[in-house]
Amino acid sequence: MLTLIVVLPLVGFLLNGILATRLGGNVVGNRFVTVVGCGLPIASFALVVASCLTLAAGGYAPLVEVAYRWAQIGDGSFEVAFYFDRLAAVMALVVTGVGSVIHVYSVGYMKDDPSYGRFFAYLNVFLFFMLLLVLGRSLLVLFVGWEGVGLASYLLIGFWFDDLANARAGKKAFITNRVGDAGFLLGMFLLYTTFGTLDMDRINAAFGGTAPVVSASLVGLLLFIGATGKSAQIPLHVWLPDAMAGPTPVSALIHAATMVTAGVYLVARMAGVYVHAPEASAVIAVVGVATAFFAATIALVQTDIKKVLAYSTISQLGFMFLALGVGAYAVAIFHVVTHAFFKACLFLGAGSVIHALGGEQDVRRMGGLAKKIPLTFWTFAIATAAIAGLPPLAGFFSKDEILWFAFASTRGGTPWLWVVAAATALMTAFYMFRLLWLTFLGRSRMSAEVEHHVHESPWSMTGVLVVLAVLSAVGGFIAVPHFLEPQLALPAVHESLHAAETPLVVVSVVLALAGLAAAAFLFGGPSERVERLRARFAGVHRVLSAKYFVDELYARLIGRPLVWISDRVFLRLGDRALLDGTLHGMAALGRASGRVLARIQTGSLHLYAWLVLAGIAGALIWSSRHG
Amino acid sequence: MTAMIDGLLQQLDTLMLVVCAFGALAAAATMLLVREPMRVAMALVTSMILLGGIYGLLGVHFVAAFQVLIYVGAVMVFIVYAIMLLETREASIRRYSRLFIPGIAGLVVLLGAIVAAVWKPLPSPVRELGDVSFGIGAFSVAFLTEYWLLFELTSVLLVAAVVAAVAVLGVGRKDPRRG
Amino acid sequence: MDRTQLLIGVAVALFSIGLVGVVVRRNVLVMLMCMELMLNGVNLSLITFAQQTATTVGAVVVFLVFVVATVEIALAIPIVLLLVRDRHTLDIGAYNELRG
């Protein structure tokens, strides 16, 4: 059954990819694509639910299903096997559930696109690889899924590849991911040479017993480098904002709900290693909180609706890694689930807004949409409140747990981690409500003809928004950490700090409300307030708008030297001078020696006869000398 | 007494051999030195006849006869005819080519090389000077029995030569002027 | 120096002079005659060895050399005739078309 869960989207990819694209001659229409493209993921979801029931009935003993033996090398063999335990169940439910509703949303969003079939084919192949990733038993299968989702991401970011900027964004995403994968591969090599297996459950068990033969921190760091690339942490975060060039359902599914959480899943899955690696965990926590803070500051000044959400995603992923770094693996997964709900809702809502405005994405040209597209507005507002952490919505529960463990966990929780995280939470609330105000409330800044055409999206889109908004509201009550506790134990908390738990909750609620109030004050009122603020902090504003010039820094530090080396060393020196030069040189040598030898053929019989004479004399002298 | 006459005859034979040898050599050298081709031909004829004399002294009389009959009588006569036919009126051609000096140098080197290669004491000859080594009878028998293949190939060669000569001169081809 | 060595020396000298004659003389017919001289040198050496060992093989080969020389001249002279009819000169410098 597990294999079937994974294979159904693959079938959808093959059917749509061959029959509904130019490759197969476009032999089927959009209705077939919709039925196959949406039906198969929904079927997968149903099967996941059935597997959960089977799991529960079996006392939560992990289900293992070996699909196929890939290779047999000596004593070890590499199998394609699927593993279903509590963690995999949670992840698979999110992937197939949220994935299916986003597929349904795409029916309405991509209705008029000429490459409708190709889009669904790519979405299905993404789902296939993502399921390989979460259900795989060994790191190898996970890595196949890892690379596969990277490929799907590349294909979907550059979906409208006629525009070169989109293609470049897809390339940037893929290459940045690859840099992280180098660390991942090294980690895998290290694990394999040490343990002779890549099965994650076996590796976790191997670390649990006696003193490990390989440094857990080293392995942990190497795997984390891979997670950095996939989950857009510093310094490999640069691809995610550019990835917004893809269609909005793609941004929702891949770059908010599922693919970018693969790094979080990896670390959580390998928790058996990380509990023995305090140094690596400390690094993860610091990188996570730094990324969260850094991305939040950039999101404060962004003017593209999707870019704000992109930086918000990076920031929220930072929160998840913070939780992982202090040992609260189950809490990180909890945040993955709630984040999937409200971030998908936000992205799809943004997509609805863009659809309504006929393609406009700049918030400076929006405003006053609340009355015109009320359903989109209310779902967006609920999701915004959820991400800001207002109780009793989903974001409040998960974020609050993260903040608590950042403060009090015995595995690395310190007060200053909490301070930075809390500041980030404040900024999150602020910029999200800023987005809400600028987009939906206040006076309209749209052009007349755009305003005239504003309309609510079709039911395929708004229905999904409603579902996700409801989940964002009540999702917090799904006690995911409690469910995962038998497998991923929550870290112990300093005894002395127990008393601080309730005050910290109050503080975080206050911060969320403060962010809301500040946004309402600045953006709900006349625009001079914002202008004055911007004028006072003009330098800071410039740095933030330019994303701290990170892309420019990479271009100068890495890009330019590489291009220089490619041009000067490899092209001019290596290829042209050495390789071509050698070949041309040999040809020239042949030609020159031919020219020299041709001087003998003068046509003069005297010379020829003389050469005979010289030859005879020479031969005689040589033979008499050598006997 | 006969021994003394024999000894004298021996010495005479040796003397004649030496004379013929050096004469042939001198005639050959003259070939290189004179300008007109007719005189060169005469020098060659002299050299060949003297060589014939050497053959006779060595006892192979029939070879000496062939030398004079074939070489001088046929080959050199033909060459002389050709020289007379091709007497060109133009100013005489330059005698020596551009490779004169390299040629002389090569001559010296070649002589030195060959002499160094072959100069060694040889076993004394079987027959004395003046004695007949073998007659034409023995020669013919050998030619037709032991070396009969060479004999047949010779006839083939001659036929080929006749055919080639006819082809080269275009005998039987229609004269393009008469059409 | 006994007589065999003398004759061999003469033969070698005749051959060398003939070869050098081909190299240094310009007249085509003179070059042909020098080639005949070379053959004569070879004949002399063959006869010398034949007489020395009293075998017939030397004489047989000499006879073949006669035949070959005759055939060669029988063809060379007509070729020279044809060439000279074209170029009207016996100078071999005029016949160097087969350049490299």
Tokens of A365: 């040209």
pLDDT score of C35: 95
- For residue A237, what is the DSSP state? -
Cα gap A357→A601, rounded to integer Å = 85
Distance from CA of A602 to the nearest CA of B (A): 13
The mean-pLDDT minimum among A91-95, A200-204, A333-337, C73-77 falls in A200-204
| CA distances from residue A207 to A185, A218, A308, A326, A464 in whole angstroms, order as listed | 19, 13, 41, 19, 43
CB of C37 less than 8 A from some CB of B: yes
Over 60: is that where the pLDDT of A217 sits? yes
CB contact under 8 A, B118 and C50: no
Tokens 């006690």 label which residue?
Answer: A479
Cα gap A504→A405, rounded to integer Å = 11
pLDDT score of B130: 63
Distance from CA of C86 to the nearest CA of B (A): 12
Structure confidence by residue, pLDDT tens digits, C1-19: 678 888 989 999 999 999 9
- Round to the nearest angstrom and report the end-to-end CA distance of chain A: 89
pLDDT score of A454: 82
Best probe of the B interface among A604, A612, A613, by most B CBs < 10 A, is A613
Tokens of A404: 């608590």
Over 80: is that where the pLDDT of A343 sits? yes
Over 80: is that where the pLDDT of A469 sits? yes
Structure confidence by residue, pLDDT tens digits, A148-198: 999 999 999 999 988 899 999 999 999 999 999 999 999 999 988 888 888
Q: Which amino acid is it at A204?
A: N
pLDDT score of A201: 84
User: Taking residues A40-61, what's their average pLDDT?
Assistant: 90
pLDDT score of C16: 94
Which of residues A154 and A254 earns the better pLDDT score?
Answer: A154
Structure confidence by residue, pLDDT tens digits, A353-393: 988 888 888 888 888 888 888 889 999 999 999 999 888 88
Cα gap A394→A480, rounded to integer Å = 11
Tokens of C85: 């009819």
Structure confidence by residue, pLDDT tens digits, A502-525: 888 888 889 889 888 888 888 877
Chains that touch A (3 or more CB pairs under 8 A): B, C
pLDDT score of B171: 63
Residues of chain B with pLDDT under 70: 88-93, 126-133, 171-179
pLDDT score of B179: 44
CB of C12 less than 8 A from some CB of A: no
pLDDT score of A340: 92
Tokens of A441: 């409330």
| Contact between residue B135 and residue B63 where contact means Cβ atoms under 8 Å apart | no
Over 90: is that where the pLDDT of A128 sits? yes
Confidence of residue C34 (pLDDT cuts 50, 70, 90): very high
Tokens of A49: 């639910």
| ipTM (interface pTM) | 0.92
CB contact under 8 A, A616 and B110: yes
pLDDT score of A476: 81
pLDDT score of B88: 66
pLDDT score of A42: 94
Three-class DSSP labels, A118-157: HHHHHHHHHHHHHHHHHHECEHHHHHHHHHHHHHHHHHHH
> What mean pLDDT value characterizes chain A?
88
Number of H helices, E strands in chain B: 7, 0
pLDDT score of A475: 83
Confidence of residue A498 (pLDDT cuts 50, 70, 90): confident
pLDDT score of A76: 77
User: Taking residues C56-60, what's their average pLDDT?
Assistant: 87
Question: In sequence order, what are the residues at sequence separation of 6 or more whose Cβ sits closer than 8 angstroms to the Cβ of residue A491?
Answer: A326, A327, A328, A405, A409, A410, A411, A413
Confidence of residue A421 (pLDDT cuts 50, 70, 90): very high
CB contact under 8 A, B51 and C56: no
Cα gap A354→A343, rounded to integer Å = 16
Helix (H) or strand (E) holding A81: strand A76-84
Q: Is A236 strand, coil or helix?
A: coil
